[in-house]
Amino acid sequence: MTLLSSMLEFNKNFVENKDYEQYATSKVPAMKAVLLTCMDTRLQELSTKALGLKNGDVKTVKNAGATITHPYGSTMRSLLVGIYALGAEEIIIMGHKDCGMGSLDVEKVKSTMKDRGIKQEVMDIIIHSGIDVDHFLGGFNDVYENVQENVKLVYNHPLFDRSVPVHGLVIEPHTGEVELLVNGYDHVEK
């Protein structure tokens, strides 16, 4: 049985048994916040449980490195929609120690792409189109700096309401211990 087949079989039973009922919640976050965190598997549940959050408390946005890579990309859009359309009143950006994006070897990633069939001519076309592939695939050197830079990016976005607090946190993925880097309440504009 394939992974997809086993998941779909589980889902069939999940629906038939009405297991979904325990997860019923509003589409508006109860705690009125949006959490941007990393897609790291260790944070699947830990990122919310370590903060005392349950299903429906926050809108959760996840990506590689909890990083806003473009001011008009999908991550920033999700944060803005959370604020302006879905009732969130705060943003939490939470990176984590031992993040794969903090030690990503871009040359190895590109080599793996080539090994899996991506032709050099495709890479050349992308590069000649003005895309910095190394930057696009790259990570960061320091999770603390990354979180702080992302907080600044949100605050400085021309579409952002600066009366909304943006908090910066770093979580330890082995223990769940959270460090406060930026207390957004200290930076809001009235």
Strand partners, 59: 34
CA geometry: angle at 45 spanning 32 and 149, to 5°?
60
Residues annotated within a binding site: 38, 40, 96, 99
What residue numbers does the annotated binding site for Zn(2+) cover? 38, 40, 96, 99
- Residues 37, 79 contacting (CB under 8 angstroms): no
Within 8 A by CB and 6+ apart from 78, the residues are 34, 36, 59, 61
| Contacts (Cβ under 8 Å, ≥6 apart) of 106 | 133, 134, 137, 138
Q: How far is CA 170 from the centre of its chain?
A: 13
Complete edge-to-edge strand list for the sheet that includes strand 90-96: 58-63, 33-38, 90-96, 166-171, 178-182
